[in-house]
Amino acid sequence: MTASNLKVALVTGAGSGIGLAVAQALLEEGFSVVFAGRRQEPLDALVKAAKEAGHQALAVSADVRDPASVDALFATIEEVYGRLDVVFNNAGVNTPAVTLDELDVNDWLNVINTNLTGVFLCSRGAFALMRKQTPQGGRIINNGSISAHTPRPLSAAYTASKHAVMGLTKSTALDGREFNIACSQIDIGNALTDLSVRMTKGVRQANGTIATEPMVDVKHIADAVRYMANLPLAANVLNITVMATNMPFVGRG
């Protein structure tokens, strides 16, 4: 791929689950993908496999909670590729399911620092690079979750973080207009990954009961992000929800 048609994408939390599925989908679309995550070794293995399959990829260990680590991530991207076209802000964590009074402050801060401040720091770094590169512009896609709209029981920190991401998405989309930077959000409901498989065994519902919930193949999440990433910058999907059809979200469940 020549410099004139080089497409570069960054995926945070790319080592597993939704992040990995999206990173692999973007590789298939011809993007050079930067796999970012806290653990270098699994990222290196994924990048090695990608290169063996004929793709361009780079593994960078980064902690999205740490401004210096995020700055180093974007400095590396600029040094290696000279530009950045798409960011998928995916890295996220949750807390134990406890009532608000039992929620440890450190657990709260970890969720906010990862799910919200991490998105801010990576969006900030991407915005700066996209604003100054030639041609100018790019696309930032945030992983919002349906918790950006309505909570599950016992999820105050996660819900608060995802509601805030929605506001950050809209503000970034607005501020990016002048610089040809589009920002959007994908809200995901019950994508089946190693972390979410527990939900197939029963999840607490709003009425206090425990019920199993339907799941959706993570491939459909990756396909949605693939579509968003390939849009021309003159078009934007501001918000999209991809969910298991029969999960309890739009009803009274």
Which of the residues are catalytic?
158
Q: CA-to-CA distance for 204 and 153, rounded, in angstroms? A: 7
Cβ atoms of residues 65 and 117 within 8 Å: yes
CA distances from 42 to 37, 47, 97, 191, 200 (A): 9, 9, 28, 22, 27
Which token pair is 207?
A: 């009425």
Question: Is the Cβ–Cβ distance between 150 and 194 less than 8 Å?
Answer: no
Instruction: Specify whether the backbone of 154 is left (phi greater than 0), alpha (psi in -120 to 50) or beta.
Output: left
